[in-house]
Amino acid sequence: MSPSQQSHSNVTSSIIAVIAASCGWILREKYEQQKRSRNSKYEIPNDLQSGDHIEEMKLAVKLAIQAGGNMIEYLEQKGTDAENGESTLGISSKSNDADFCTAIDIQNEDLVTKALSSTFPTHQIIGEESTGTDKPAPLTNEPTWIIDPIDGTTNFAAGCPLTCVSIGYCIKGEPVMGVVFSPKTEELYLAMNGKGAYRNGERISVNSCQSKTLSNSVVCFEFGSSRAKEGVDKMMGAAKRLLMHGCRSTRSYGSGVLDLCYVASTRLDVVYTGMYEEGWKPWDYCAGMVIAEEAGCIIRSLKGDGKVKEFDDERKVILDSKFDIYSDSMICGVNTTVVEQCRNVVLGIHHNQA
Ligand code: LIP
């Protein structure tokens, strides 16, 4: 190589080195920026900071994000060459093959339960996985945490992003705080009694949906895990009545907790459960109920069989009644009209006037 060629090649190498270093810097900066914006999305808004249960919320947020982190690697690798296979999920069946939990459900519940009881040793904890197929422990007047370590386990196992960690907190037998973290969609829902509901730091509300009726609503329901003919007929019968009545569309997202958060953030207009045995459990309701109510939603038992009367004799919502999270059925909607119309149609009562 001639001296001039040598010098030319040196200049080219230096230029390449500068470009490579700049690209590295740009990528690092982009990563740091993403990290900063993700962290700020997960900050507790000022309005909630002044609430009565802020210490509980801070811990619940930290734990929900940690538990969500445990789910991410699997969700991101599922279906790619990097996936380790289903065996790593440690699936164990509960009441039947459609009702199961994974090793990560158990790890998450363990993580959350241990941290809560070491910080709040006198608090009670009701968790989905420690309850298993038993009846959920009754709610007492003691401060009580109600946890679903992975809601939407089928979605999680399938690698579908609609899955979350749900941590609710009750005082004197009433849910007062909800923290729901959906790790793959990077959404943190928070609510505290009387302080509003938030998604990633932004207030959510159903105020804009007050004129909705069933005909222009998106209606959600889930099929649960029972496959008994009687139940399937009842659930399909309700879906058929809805479609025959007319609604914008129907959805089954596979996570009861997210269904409630999605009604609270107007992605859905109404969700119901409990036509047969597919009704949800306290851990499906607790955190989501606070988020939905704080966003302005109406939530009642679908069959009106809660502890207090929830619908009057004309099947109108009784405004000052309260949903019981131990109910076998539930309906939650963006306004009273949607709740009443949807309830009448799915239960097959008063069909023509609904
Ligand atoms: C599930 C719900 C699902 C509902 C099931 C079950 P899991 O929770 O989110 O939508 O239909 O009955 O409760 O088992 O995934 O935590």
Check which CATH number belongs to the domain holding 261 and give it: 3.40.190.80
- Domain of 118, in residue numbers: 46-204
Residue 36 lies in a domain: no
Domain match, 192 and 113 both: yes
Q: What's the pLDDT band for 36 if we cut at 50, 70, 90?
A: low
What's the rounded mean pLDDT across residues 219-230? 92
For residue 39, tell me if it sits in a domain: no
Domains: count for the chain: 2
> 218 pLDDT exceeds 90?
yes
Residue 29 lies in a domain: no
Query: Which of 56-65, 100-109, 269-278 is the most confident on average?
Result: 56-65
Structure tokens at 218: 């998106």
Which of 155, 185, 204 marks a domain boundary?
204
From 204, 239, 272, the end of a domain falls on: 204
Nearest Cα to Cα of residue 242 among 251, 253, 230: 251
Does residue 352 have a pLDDT over 60? no
Pocket probe mutation, ligand 1, options 92, 284, 289, max atoms within 8 Å of Cβ: 284
20 domain residue, yes or no = no
Q: Which of 222, 271, 327 to mutate to test the pocket of ligand 1 (most atoms within 8 A of CB)?
A: 222
pLDDT at 86 exceeding the cut of 70: no
Rounded to an integer, what distance in angstroms lies between the CA atom of residue 110 and that of residue 100? 17
Residue 11 falls within a domain, yes or no? no
Return the beta strands (E) in 164-320 as ranges.
164-171, 174-182, 187-192, 196-199, 202-204, 218-221, 249-251, 270-273, 298-300
Look-up of token digits 């700020």:
40
162 and 273 inside one domain: no
Cα gap 332→338, rounded to integer Å: 9
Gap from CA of 344 to ligand 1 centroid (Å): 24
pLDDT at 98: 80
Cα–ligand 1 centroid distance for 329 (angstroms): 13
Q: Quick one: tokens of 147?
A: 């946890």
CB 290 within 8 A of CB 168: yes
pLDDT-derived band at 351 (thresholds 50, 70, 90) equals very low
Residues 220 and 162 placed together within one structural domain of the fold:
no
Claim to verify: residue 273 and residue 331 sit in the same structural domain: yes
Ligand 1 pocket by C-beta < 6 Å: which residues?
128, 148, 150-153, 222, 224-225, 254-256, 278, 280, 284
**Residue 275 and residue 223 share a domain:** yes
Long-range contacts of 16-22 (CB under 8 A, 24+ apart): none
Residue with token string 């009846």: 135
Q: Are residues 195 and 225 in the same domain?
A: no
CA distance 159 to 89: 11
Q: Whose CA is nearest to atom 13 of ligand 1?
A: 280
pTM recorded for the entire structure: 0.89
CA of 309 to the centre of ligand 1 (A): 26
Name the nearest CA neighbour of 237 among 331, 82, 351: 351
Instruction: Using CB atoms within 10 Å of the CB of residue 133, give its burial: 0 to 12 exposed, 13 to 18 middle, 19+ buried.
Output: exposed
The answer to whether residue 9 is domain-embedded is no
